[in-house]
Chains A and B, each alone.
Chain A
Amino acid sequence: MYLIELQELVKSYGTVKALNGLSLKVPNGCLYGLLGPNGSGKTTTLRILCTLLAPDAGQVKVAGLDVVKDPRSVRRQLGYVAQEVAIDKILTGLELLQLQGDLYHLPSNERDIRIAELIERLDMKAWITRRCGSYSGGMRRRLDLASGLLHQPKLLVLDEPTVGLDIESRSAIWQLLFELKSQGTTILLSSHYLEEVEALADQMAIIDEGRVIAQGAPDDLKKQLGGDRVTLRVREFSDENESEQVRKLLANVDGVRQVVVNRAQGFSLNLVVDDENVLPRLREELDRSKLQVFALSHSRPSLDDVYLQATGRTLMDAELSASGNRDVKLESKQAMR
């Protein structure tokens, strides 16, 4: 049973195509991660899901309800924590939560009990009666989470929930998300942090240029890629010639699938090997040629490797080129009604 079903979503802003036939399904009770660089269409997807934006084409269903045809029923099912926290600086956190409760039509006694629970759970007691204008980023984020959770939604949608937060706030939020999941809440979050998706998500989709280019459980995606990763240096500062020689030497070792000289990292060698049993053979081969091992690290494929395989570039590269193309003014315009 899927709680969210998105089919062939298309959305353009003027000539810019934000979504280009995006489809994905989120099972009930799942913590689902959307991974992609800035500008890949994550926020647009979430905004469509939350009834803030109508798609140009495609189908969106939440809990079997059509988001375009029956937006009000959908709104009751979901809590949305936006990337840009919109709070009223003049109100106190408590007043904001009360307002939120009234907008979801909670009876006032239930509303107040629920608010008290969340103040306790998110550790907001010390500052909740202060005006929101004085809150730090972490406090605002916690307040926003509380207001998204106030009506106990079936589905919690979070857009980059920990971007710009300190480590402590981040781990507090991760902890809360795990708890919510164990209580049966379905969670959809977007992130451009690999480690966040890796640590949190049961299922994930990689989004690039408005389409899903890979989806599944993070471990499965990594396994599908196959092979282990090895990074090797024979000296602290090798030159290109030396690295090239070593590359040729190791390329013939049994179990080595691929060797690349990484120019960006001081001519270190990046290898894809069958498994860790190849490592002793690498050392033997180097010994035979009187070469030392300055550094050697071995790892399973990471999500970054998955991303690299699917798009031909690393997430960081995509992130850098996206940030150059970003038009912040245009984006805030798109978010305005």
Chain B
Amino acid sequence: MTSSDYVAFDYSDKKKGGADLRQETFALTRRLFIQLVRRPSTLVAGVLQPLIWLVLFGALFSKAPDSLLPGGISYGRFLGAGVIVFTAFSGALNAGLPVMFDREFGFLNRLLVAPLSSRSSIIFASVIYITSISLLQSIAIMGTAFFLGYGWPGFAGLLLVLLTLLLLVFAVTALSLGLAFALPGHIELIAVIFVVNLPLLFASTALAPISYMPAWLGWLAAVNPLTFAIEPIRAAYGGTLDLGLVILHAPYGDVTGYGCLSILIALSLGLFLLISPLLNRKLA
């Protein structure tokens, strides 16, 4: 280093904004993936847990009477859609954890001292990371379900499944990131994740249809966001790709495939709008 080349880089080019945002988002995403590759246990556990659900729960109810399930399909086939959604949901629910650890260990401060072109890049990186992981895990579960004889949705069906999961993952990631900035520490965040995770699964149509539930639980399941993701996927597995058809008989009325997806879109947008003031304040 000589003194002559000791000059600050030229930052005057305003048009660089988009490229800067890409550069920082890519770098932050890369960091998360490096962590994943070197510490893959969460990914493995994230695939293993739903697999165990699928195998054990599928076996537990394999002798369920035919009248239990609409259309007389096997329980394993019915359960598949529920477990796929549950996998994506739990993965996204954990999205806030790395951010919380960065807050606690002071790594976030390192990011906040840097002249990021937008601090949204910190959020973008998390969303990209969690979405990729969740979709990857879901595809692994779908593959296993196929080998267990629980069916495969076909190519068009697969696209519908991925679209539905994407919408759910966006919504839940927003929620988790919001919690990561609102709660005081990772203990509290983990506590919330524990409390939310299983009840939302049980109070949805993942394990049993609404027709099988007591009325009050049926109501809960019919407003549970997981249900709106499970039903289009279950329909896709059943070979129904027409989104105009009614796929959910809720106590308050029938819901079509379009209805389910619209609700998921509204939920994603709503949650992102809800948490953005919080993020703006914390990342200002």
- Tell whether, in the assembled complex, residue B115 and residue A52 are in contact, meaning their CB atoms are under 8 Å apart: no
CB of A293 closer than 8 Å to a CB of B: no
- Tell whether, in the assembled complex, residue B9 and residue A72 are in contact, meaning their CB atoms are under 8 Å apart: no
CB of A117 closer than 8 Å to a CB of B: yes
CB of B157 to closest CB in A, whole Å: 37
Q: For B115, give the chain A residue with the smallest CB separation.
A: A75
Bound Cα distance A84, B138 (Å):
39
- Tell whether, in the assembled complex, residue B1 and residue A121 are in contact, meaning their CB atoms are under 8 Å apart: yes
Bound Cα distance A333, B27 (Å):
27
Return the CB mask of A43-81 against B: 1 if under 8 Å, else 0.
000000011100000000000000000001101111010
Number of A-B contacts (CB under 8 A): 104
CB of A6 closer than 8 Å to a CB of B: no
CB of A165 closer than 8 Å to a CB of B: no
CB of B24 to closest CB in A, whole Å: 5
CB of A151 closer than 8 Å to a CB of B: yes
Bound Cα distance A95, B24 (Å):
14
Cβ contacts under 8 Å, A82 to chain B: 106, 109-110
CB of B28 closer than 8 Å to a CB of A: yes
CB of A289 to closest CB in B, whole Å: 61
Cβ contacts under 8 Å, B16 to chain A: 105
Q: Which one of A100, A102, A104, A152 lies within 8 Å of B7 (CB-CB)? A: A152
Bound Cα distance A141, B31 (Å):
21
Interface residues on A, range: 35 or more
- Tell whether, in the assembled complex, residue A152 and residue B112 are in contact, meaning their CB atoms are under 8 Å apart: no
From A86-94, A206-214, A263-271, A306-314, give the one contacting chain B. Answer: A86-94
CB of A132 to closest CB in B, whole Å: 11
Cβ contacts under 8 Å, B30 to chain A: 99
Interface residues of A (CB under 8 A from B): 50-52, 72-73, 75-78, 80, 82, 84, 86-88, 90-91, 95, 98-100, 102-106, 110, 117, 121, 131, 147, 151-154, 182-185, 332-333, 335-337
What are 15 pairs between A and B in contact, CB < 8 Å?
A78-B113, A82-B106, A86-B106, A86-B107, A86-B109, A88-B35, A90-B34, A95-B31, A98-B27, A99-B31, A102-B27, A105-B117, A151-B9, A184-B6, A332-B104
Q: A88-B31, A103-B24 are in contact. List 9 more A-B contacts (CB 8 A).
A: A52-B112, A75-B115, A82-B106, A91-B35, A99-B27, A102-B24, A103-B27, A104-B114, A152-B6
